[in-house]
Amino acid sequence: MSRVDVFSNIKARDASNIIEQSFVRGEVIIILANCIIHYEGRALSDIGPGDRVLIIKPDGTLIIHKKIKREPVNWQPPGSTIRAYERNGRLVIKSIRYNPYEIIIVECLEIYLIATYDAIDPYALEISGTERDLAELIYRNPEIIEKGFKVLKLEYQTPFGII
């Protein structure tokens, strides 16, 4: 297998094997499919047939997107259990979160594409320009506010909280 493998015109049983094996190998899995989604947990929801993008990450994250908007229509967090199997000729993907208990069942009516990706991503997000960064900059260089300016405290307790 290469770092990226793409499968199309694939039967449900083969698709489930690819997903299971790729998940065990720690690969990112992207699925384009026409599917039905059922969620049970803190509430209940069902989404009828439609074309969706499913992303399964090695940490157990499942994200399901429609063709519009940034937010997923359903998702499960890291640590969820992912299972893929064939039932009545259809690919079924089940994601279970145990605490709190939540389950998403995706039944694929048609599989357009499955891509598996051995992602190499060793770097963490580095954020700069935060409020804390600005406060520390002013504390170390008070003259950037005004000549003679003195910082008395980094934080100050008010009746409404610390500022």
**pLDDT tens-digit map of 58-102:** 999 999 999 999 999 999 999 999 999 999 999 999 999 999 999
Taking only the tens place, the pLDDT of each residue in 41-53 is 999 999 999 999 9
Q: 31: number of CA atoms within 13 Å, CB side?
A: 31
Domain parsing of the chain, residue ranges: 4-117, 131-162
Where does 4-117 sit in CATH, by number? 2.70.180.20
pTM for the complete prediction?
Answer: 0.81
Minimum mean pLDDT range among 122-126, 133-137, 144-148:
133-137
Angstrom distances, CA of residue 70 to CA of 66, 103, 161: 9, 22, 34
